[in-house]
């Protein structure tokens, strides 16, 4: 999960914020995540990174709490976790394979033409 903290009034990115994430699942009393701390990305400090996994399907509510020099604030985000469809991954893999094959054929044709033109020059 990647987060960016932005000041609502000035629309500027807030750096150095203490950012924590909690989540509650479809059955809030049983399925909870966190609190987990999101850490700033070393290369891009405007982005805060958090690794987590959700193993239950249904409606989840993620709460992001931010404590920065501008003060404290939090926001809730509702996310619907659904079962992934393997067909989209298969279609993507087949498309990439088709493009790679076409690229290989084009390179072979180009090299064949180049070698024929060298033979004719000699």
Q: What is the pLDDT of residues 59-78, one digit of tens each?
A: 899 999 999 988 898 999 99
Looking at the fold, whether 31 and 74 belong to one and the same domain comes out as yes
The number of domains in the chain is 2
Q: How far apart are CA 57 and CA 30, in angstroms?
A: 13
* pLDDT over 70 percentage in the chain: 93
pTM of the predicted model as reported, rounded to 2 decimal places: 0.63
pLDDT band (50, 70, 90) for residue 48: very high
Looking at the fold, whether 16 and 75 belong to one and the same domain comes out as yes
Looking at the fold, whether 117 and 75 belong to one and the same domain comes out as no
**Structural domain range at position 44:** 2-81
Distances 11 to 48, 64, 68, 89, 96 between C-alpha atoms, Å: 17, 18, 15, 37, 39
Kindly report the CATH number assigned to the domain that includes residue 23. Answer: 2.60.40
């Amino acid at each position: 999960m990647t987060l960016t903290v932005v000041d609502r009034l000035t629309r500027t990115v807030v750096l150095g914020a203490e950012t924590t994430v909690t989540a509650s699942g479809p059955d809030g009393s049983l399925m909870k995540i966190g609190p987990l701390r999101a850490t700033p990305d070393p290369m891009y400090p405007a982005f805060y990174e958090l690794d987590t996994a959700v193993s239950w399907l249904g409606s989840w509510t993620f709460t992001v709490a931010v404590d920065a020099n501008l003060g404290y604030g939090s926001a809730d985000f509702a996310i619907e976790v659904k079962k992934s469809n393997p067909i989209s991954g298969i279609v993507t893999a087949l498309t990439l394979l088709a493009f790679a094959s076409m690229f290989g054929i084009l390179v072979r044709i180009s090299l064949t033409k180049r070698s024929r033109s060298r033979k004719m020059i000699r």
